[in-house]
């Protein structure tokens, strides 16, 4: 059976009034706060937690997601927080389209899905969108959360597999951080656990 990807995510966000915490992803904050603010692209922005944090820290942000419901929540939060002029939200299926332009920061946090997602195409386009001197941040789940009961057979990509999707070349990129990182987290029912993330932070040295 062919899954309607957009409907899948509409149904996911429709499960309740807010899916995510609204807080910035810690890995993004750790690295982005070291950068001079410029233009940022947040791929798979969801309800806007990362995009809004960047806007609050001086960035001009484009946030992209496939779910209209998620983007409506993100836009509402931007208005409430006085950030509407600093952030633009676009509904795009990244497996088929990609925003135009170059960015000083391109971020993709947990852009993983149990339904179709052309990560090879997306990450290649993400790398191409980084301006010289800009930074690409990709953060993946490296393993299932300890409380997960239905995705233990899911194959999680390695750091090197992700690098291969962007045609990584040391002549054009500086490795700021490439590796796996543990972090403590709390599950949906209050379970404490340790999660493993793959964190890739690259700085573009030269033009394409």
Q: Tell me the per-residue pLDDT of 66-107, one tens digit each, with 9 for 90 and over.
A: 999 999 999 999 999 999 999 999 999 999 999 999 999 999
Segment of 111-115, 133-137, 169-173 carrying the highest mean pLDDT: 133-137
* pLDDT, mean over the chain: 90
Sign of the CA dihedral running 18, 20, 21, 23? negative
Q: Are 130 and 136 in contact (CB under 8 A)?
A: yes
- Please give the pLDDT value at position 16: 80
Is the CB of residue 181 less than 8 Å from the CB of residue 199? Answer: yes
pLDDT digits (tens, 9 = 90+) for 147-157: 676 665 677 88
Continuous segment of H or E residues that includes residue 180: strand 173-186
Q: What is the domain class of 5-204 according to CATH?
A: alpha beta
Task: Tell whether the model's pLDDT for residue 1 goes beyond 50.
Answer: no
More confident residue, 117 or 147: 117
| Residue 136: pLDDT over 60 | yes
The pLDDT confidence band at residue 169, using thresholds 50, 70 and 90, is confident
What is the mean predicted confidence (pLDDT) over 27-46? 96
Three-state DSSP state, 37: coil
Q: Given this model, what pLDDT does residue 21 score? A: 81
Instruction: Give the model's confidence band at 122: pLDDT under 50 very low, under 70 low, under 90 confident, else very high.
Output: very high
Q: Do the beta carbons of residue 134 and residue 201 sit within 8 Å?
A: no
Query: Domain segments of the chain: what residues?
Result: 5-204
Q: What is the pLDDT of residue 2?
A: 54
Phi/psi at 53 (nearest 5 deg)? Answer: -60, -45
pLDDT at 40 exceeding the cut of 90: yes
Model pLDDT, residue 189: 67
Alpha carbons 66 and 56: distance in angstroms, whole number? 23
What value does the mean pLDDT take over residues 15-25? Answer: 83
Q: Residue 95 burial (CB < 10 Å; 0-12/13-18/19+)? A: middle
Q: Would the pLDDT of 63 be above 60?
A: yes
103-109 and 130-141 beta bridge pairing: parallel
CB 38 within 8 A of CB 60: yes
């Amino acid at each position: 059976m062919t899954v309607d990807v957009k409907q899948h995510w509409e149904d996911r966000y429709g499960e309740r009034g807010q899916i995510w915490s609204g807080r910035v992803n810690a890995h993004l904050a750790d690295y982005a706060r070291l950068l001079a603010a410029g233009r940022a692209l947040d791929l798979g922005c969801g309800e806007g937690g990362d995009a809004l944090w960047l806007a609050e820290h001086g960035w001009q942000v484009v946030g992209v997601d496939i779910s209209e419901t998620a983007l409506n929540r993100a836009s509402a939060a931007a208005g409430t927080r006085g950030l509407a002029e600093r952030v633009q939200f676009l509904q795009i299926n990244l497996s088929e389209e990609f925003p135009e332009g170059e960015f000083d920061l391109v971020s993709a946090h947990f852009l993983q899905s149990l339904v179709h997602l052309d990560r090879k195409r997306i990450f290649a386009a993400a790398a191409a969108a980084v301006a010289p001197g800009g930074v690409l941040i990709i953060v993946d789940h490296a393993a299932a959360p300890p409380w997960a009961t239905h995705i233990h057979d899911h194959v999680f990509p390695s750091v090197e597999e992700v690098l291969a999707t962007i045609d990584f070349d040391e002549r054009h990129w500086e490795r700021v951080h490439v590796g796996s990182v543990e972090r403590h987290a709390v599950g949906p029912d209050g379970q404490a656990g340790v999660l493993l993330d793959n964190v890739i932070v690259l700085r573009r040295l030269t033009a394409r």
